[in-house]
Structure 1
C-alpha cells in the first residue's frame, strides 16, 4: 500500500499542469452516519461529504450526487455508469476497474455485541469464528480487511457470516437475538446509537478487525488519469494546509 501511495505522489509531481475536464461527474453515496447522510433540512452532509466537497472545490469539477446501495455503486463504477465513490477502501480486485486517490482519512472496523456480552463471547482472533457457535452480521459489498477477505472464502468461516443491506438490519437482528454481533466502524456506531437512543444496548468487543486508509475511487471506464491527478493535487494541498485535519476534528469532536 505504501508503494502505491508513493507512486501516486510521483505522478502528481511529474505530471504537467492541466485544466479540469469540463464535464459533470456522477458521484454515488449511501446512508452512512456520520459520513454521508441527509440532515433535517434534507441537505447532504457528513464527514465524507465535507472533505469531498472541499476537494471538488479545489478542482472546479461539477458533480451530481445519486443515492444508491454500495454493492450496486461498485458495479456502476466497473461499468462507468457512476464516475466516483467516496469512502472507498483499496483492494486489488477493485483496482482492476477503478483508480484510487491518495488517502484522505483512516477507517476502523470493530465487532459490536449486546451490552454485557463482550467478555462472554470468546473470540481472540477473527479466525476463531470458524470453530465457534457465533453468527456475525456484515453489510454486503463492504471491505472488512484482507484477513476477512481470505477467511470468507472458506466454508467453515463463511457459515458464521450473515450478509445484510445496512446497519439498521444488523442492529435489528442483534436485538432480536438472531446474530451474536456485527462488524461496523465505531464512529458510525456511536452516532447511530445516539440518534436512536440505543447507547445502553451495545458495546465494543476487544477483537480487532481492521484499520486502513480511505480513498476516493474513480471508474477506469469513465475517468482519466488527468482527473485522478487533479483530485490527488487537491488532497495533497488540503492535507498540507491542515484543512482535512480540521474537518475530521470537527466531526470526531462533535460526534464521539
Structure 2
C-alpha cells in the first residue's frame, strides 16, 4: 500500500492554504484508516506515478488532509469490500448508495456527488428525435446500448417488462464498449453515467461527435461509508463538517470539474 502522493499533498495544501491558521481538530484515529477501493475511472484509480486519484479519492483525501488521520489503500472487488466494511477489515468505502441494510453496519457521510444516468446520441441526430420519456424509444426504429446489470432508474426497469423494448436493446458487458458502438452506427444511442462518459470519451473527442440528450433519467446521492466496527461517529461528524466547508468555499466543485464540467 502506498502513501498519498507528494503531488496531491502539494495540490491540497495549495488549495486549502487559507485554512492553515485554523485550529487543528482533535485526532480521532490512532492507526491509519484503510480505504477500500476498486479500479473505476474516473472515480477511483492510480495515475502513472502510482498516486491514488479520481473524483472520489480526490475528495476523500482533500477532506482527510484536515483530520490528522492517515490513510492507506486496499484494492479489492466491490462485493468483497461490502463484506469487509461490515467486518471492519476496511474502514472506508467510497461511491456508495445509502440503503437500510448497509446502514446497519456502516455510517454514511453527507452526499458528496450525484450519480446520474443519461442518454447519449450522435450529434448529427440531435434534431431527429424528440424524447419526452424513455418510453418514446419504443415507438421508433431505435436501438439502445446498455450495460448488463446496471440500474438506469425505475422507468427503465418497468420498460424491461415489454418485449418490444427488450428487442431494441444491445447489451454489453462493459460500459466502455458503448461509445464506439454509437460511433460505428451499431446503436442509435446508449445509457451511461455522466462522469464516466465525460471523462473517458467526451473530454477526449475534439470532434464532438456525441452529445448528451436532455432527457431526465435516474439520479441518486452518493456517499462515503464508514465501518461502525472501527470508525467513531465523532470522526464521521468531523468528516461531514469539512466536506461542507469544501462545498461552501467552492473547492468541491473545482474537484468535480476536473472530471466533468457540466455533470
Q: TM-score under structure 2 normalisation?
A: 0.66
Structure 2: where are the runs of 5+ without partners? 1-24
| Count of matched residue pairs | 236
The match for 1:30 is 39
| SS of match in other structure, 1:208 | coil
In structure 1, which of residues 131, 135, 147 is the aligned counterpart of residue 144 of structure 2?
A: 135
The 8 Å contact of residues 198 and 259 in structure 2, kept in 1 or not, is answered as no
* CA–CA distance in structure 1, aligned partners of residues 204 and 46 of structure 2: 15
The 8 Å contact of residues 146 and 175 in structure 2, kept in 1 or not, is answered as no
5 Å-filtered alignment, 1:159-238, equals: 164=172, 166-175=174-183, 179-193=187-201, 197=205, 199-220=207-228, 223-238=231-246
* CA–CA distance in structure 2, aligned partners of residues 239 and 177 of structure 1: 41
Q: Which moved more, 1:221-230 or 1:106-115?
A: 221-230
Root-mean-square deviation (CA, aligned residues, Å) is 3.9
| SS of match in other structure, 2:73 | strand
Tell whether 2:52 aligns with 1:51: no
Q: Deviations over 1:166-213 (max 9, x none)?
A: 431223444455544322333432332256547444222232213443
Tell whether 2:151 aligns with 1:151: no
* CA–CA distance in structure 2, aligned partners of residues 198 and 78 of structure 1: 44
The 8 Å contact of residues 27 and 82 in structure 1, kept in 2 or not, is answered as yes
Question: How has the CA–CA distance of structure 1 residues 205 and 71 changed in structure 2, closer, same or farther, with 3 Å as cutoff?
Answer: farther
* CA–CA distance in structure 2, aligned partners of residues 223 and 153 of structure 1: 41
The 8 Å contact of residues 108 and 212 in structure 1, kept in 2 or not, is answered as yes
Alpha-carbon deviation of 1:71? 5.4
The 8 Å contact of residues 25 and 61 in structure 1, kept in 2 or not, is answered as no
| SS of match in other structure, 1:213 | strand
| SS of match in other structure, 1:109 | strand
Alpha-carbon deviation of 1:102? 0.7
* CA–CA distance in structure 2, aligned partners of residues 68 and 130 of structure 1: 39
Q: TM-score under structure 1 normalisation?
A: 0.67
Structure of higher RCO (CA pairs closer than 8 Å, 6+ residues apart): 1
- Greater C-alpha radius of gyration: 2
Question: How has the CA–CA distance of structure 1 residues 29 and 125 changed in structure 2, closer, same or farther, with 3 Å as cutoff?
Answer: same
Alpha-carbon deviation of 1:79? 5.6
